[in-house]
Structure 1
Amino acid sequence: MVYLTLFASAFLAATLLPASSEAYLLYLLQGDRNALMLWLVATLGNTAGGMLNYCLGVYISHFSGWADRAFSEKQRERAAGLFRKYGVWTLLGSWLPIVGDPLTFVAGLAGTRWRLALLLIAVGKGARYAVLIAFSYWVLSR
């Protein structure tokens, strides 16, 4: 049950909803739980939430017609081209507060290949949880 709630917490924290999973993860680390398993579950949940944002971006871009009404074809193509050229690597920062979750949404709007988006989002979010866990062990060992 603990792992399910951690997954849900990490998932919600990665969506455009205001939520946080770090405090819960730190709390769970105080117990006698496997840190590697906690890292894996949190990373999977957070990555899944990021991919939900990505899918919403894809949906809005291709199916809803909203992007067609809000921006001209030329504007959309230019923005997508710029994101593909410079912005795709920003998905490694998808773990950042405030700007990280919208980056995953923009990746979907820009038509970033889903496999590349998944890889970069997972690496970024996994690195964040790894640093958080390592830092907590460093603080506790002092």
Structure 2
Amino acid sequence: MDSLSGLTGLFASAFISATIAPGGSEVVLAYLVSQGQHPLGQLLLVATLGNTLGAMTTWGLGVLAAKKFPVADLLPKNRQKALNLVRQYGLWTLLFSWLPVLGDALCFAGGWLRLAFWPACLLIMLGKLARYAAVAWFFT
């Protein structure tokens, strides 16, 4: 795998992993870290950027959905866990956007509730960077 295709694949995998589709960006990152062909900082930057942009896409979908559908029409009360978490704890819940399944829902809920864009982006990015740093550390 050449240098550019490895980074492009990592970015694409990270972006897709942060949207509705499942992805394996941690596996791609672990593989690239173990190969030692890229500086660790570069891999963390590419993975974090891709995953953050994917999460902000989900956040944007939440903003768009909120314009068309009231919360009560979208989900029954017993299915609004992420929405209730974001309502209760606000922006800080977005630090956990890296969690499987719940993380996507938190980003969507953040957009739905129209949390401030830049603080949301920063907290999402920090959570995702921490996760990728832990994965990279494990495989170095």
Identical pairs, percent: 45
Find the partner of 1:57 among 59, 62, 71.
62
| Cross-structure match for 2:24 | 20
Alpha carbons of structure 1 residues 122 and 23: separation in structure 2 relative to 1, 3 Å: same
8 Å Cα contact 1:42/1:129 also seen in 2:
yes
8 Å Cα contact 1:13/1:20 also seen in 2:
yes
What is the TM-score of this pair, normalised by structure 2? 0.83
| Cross-structure match for 2:38 | 33
Cα deviation code 1:15-48 (max 9, x no counterpart): 0112221111111112222111000000000000
Q: Distance in 2 between matches of 1:81 and 1:93?
A: 14
Alpha carbons of structure 1 residues 67 and 18: separation in structure 2 relative to 1, 3 Å: same
Describe the SS at the equivalent of 1:19: coil
Shift of 1:98: 1.6
Q: Distance in 2 between matches of 1:80 and 1:23?
A: 29
8 Å Cα contact 1:80/1:111 also seen in 2:
no
Specify every segment of 5 or more residues in structure 2 that has no aligned partner in the other structure, as ranges.
75-81
Find the partner of 2:112 among 102, 109, 115.
109
Shift of 1:122: 0.3
Q: Distance in 1 between matches of 2:87 and 2:95?
A: 14
1:90 matched to 2:93? The reply is yes
For the aligned residues, what is the CA RMSD? 2.1
Q: Distance in 1 between matches of 2:11 and 2:61?
A: 20
Shift of 1:131: 1.0
Amino acid at match of 1:61: A
Specify every segment of 5 or more residues in structure 1 that has no aligned partner in the other structure, as ranges.
72-78, 138-142
Amino acid at match of 2:19: T
| Cross-structure match for 2:123 | 120
Q: Distance in 2 between matches of 1:47 and 1:114?
A: 12
Cα deviation code 1:67-90 (max 9, x no counterpart): 27717xxxxxxx989735513211
Q: Distance in 1 between matches of 2:107 and 2:136?
A: 24
Shift of 1:66: 2.0
Q: Distance in 2 between matches of 1:19 and 1:117?
A: 22
